[in-house]
Amino acid sequence: MTIERHPRLVTAAAAMWIASATVYVGSEAIAAAAFPGYSYATNYISDLGIPTVGTYDGRVIDSPLAGVMNFGFIAHGVFFAAGAVLAALAAGHGHRAARAVFVAAAGAHLVGSVMIGLVPGSSESVATGTIGLHVLGAGLAIVGGNLASVTAGIAGGWFGLSRGYRVFSAVVGATGVLSVIALQAGIGGLPDGVWERASVYAITAWELVTAAVLLRGQRRMSS
């Protein structure tokens, strides 16, 4: 990324990713605090977005602030994709293939996040036959977000950042993808909520670290 040529775009991309991670984690924490007996280890994140009280897949559901979580899902996707577009623009005209994959992956994350927020994974969605949209959305959001991270690592030349950052980016993205595979495969050893959060928090970790690296680079350029 040609930081010295496009400082405002780089700063804006970093701001979008900080906002994305902050809104998501904050929405989850607020919704979880209002959910009686909610467990980060055994409950799914999407349990927080179910607006009705009852049971789903053997879990007791009571999320009075479901709207907050669903807002967090959608806002995370919007901010993540906005940051990706700004970063791609800052990269200039080169590295077209890498930029295209990066933006496409972020777009998949956005579409999936919106689907999760609009179609909760609940008994009602099972009854209406829309549960498939929720499952598809979760897949797009998790895989898309982590694929963007992997792309930033493997094709990191267009970021113009250090080898250490690029290794981190690829590893954290791969960890996120492997975690969701482990969740779907039913691999034991860790509760489902832990596997799911590993796959999602890999994205928020990438956002915050990338934003910090970009802003630090900006400060060095201006000093």
Residues with Cβ within 8 Å of 213's Cβ and at least 6 positions away in sequence, in order, are 161, 162, 165
Whole-number Å distance between alpha carbons of 73 and 26: 11
Within a domain: residue 136? yes
Within a domain: residue 105? yes
pLDDT of the residue at 63: 97
Whole-number Å distance between alpha carbons of 179 and 175: 6
Amino acid at 204: T
Whole-number Å distance between alpha carbons of 128 and 123: 9
Within a domain: residue 28? yes
Whole-number Å distance between alpha carbons of 63 and 51: 6
Within a domain: residue 145? yes
Residues with Cβ within 8 Å of 46's Cβ and at least 6 positions away in sequence, in order, are 116, 120, 121, 134, 138
pLDDT of the residue at 7: 83
Within a domain: residue 2? no
Task: Tally the domains of the chain.
Answer: 1
Instruction: Give 2 or 117, the one with higher predicted confidence.
Output: 117
- Mean pLDDT value of segment 45-72: 96
- Mean pLDDT value of segment 126-150: 96
Q: What is the domain extent for residue 202?
A: 7-222
pLDDT at 219 over 50: yes
Whole-number Å distance between alpha carbons of 165 and 105: 19
- Mean pLDDT value of segment 166-191: 92
Whole-number Å distance between alpha carbons of 119 and 59: 18
Instruction: Give 214 or 36, the one with higher predicted confidence.
Output: 36
Within a domain: residue 155? yes
- Mean pLDDT value of segment 172-198: 92
| Burial category of 136 from C-beta neighbours within 10 Å (exposed 0-12, middle 13-18, buried 19 and up) | middle
pLDDT of the residue at 4: 47
144-170: pLDDT as tens digits = 999 999 999 887 666 667 889 999 999
Q: Which two tokens stand for residue 64?
A: 């009075």
83-113: pLDDT as tens digits = 999 998 887 666 788 889 999 999 999 999 9
pLDDT of the residue at 221: 59
Whole-number Å distance between alpha carbons of 176 and 138: 13
What angle in degrees, to the nearest 10, is found between the helix axes of 131-154 and 66-90?
30
pLDDT of the residue at 162: 83
pLDDT of the residue at 2: 45
pLDDT of the residue at 97: 84
DSSP state of 41: T
pLDDT at 210 over 80: yes
Whole-number Å distance between alpha carbons of 216 and 213: 5
Instruction: Give 187 or 69, the one with higher predicted confidence.
Output: 69
pTM of the predicted protein model: 0.92
pLDDT of the residue at 220: 66
Whole-number Å distance between alpha carbons of 158 and 73: 29
Within a domain: residue 1? no
Rounded to an integer, what is the distance from CA 98 to the centroid of its chain? 19
Work out the mean pLDDT of the chain and round it to a whole number: 91
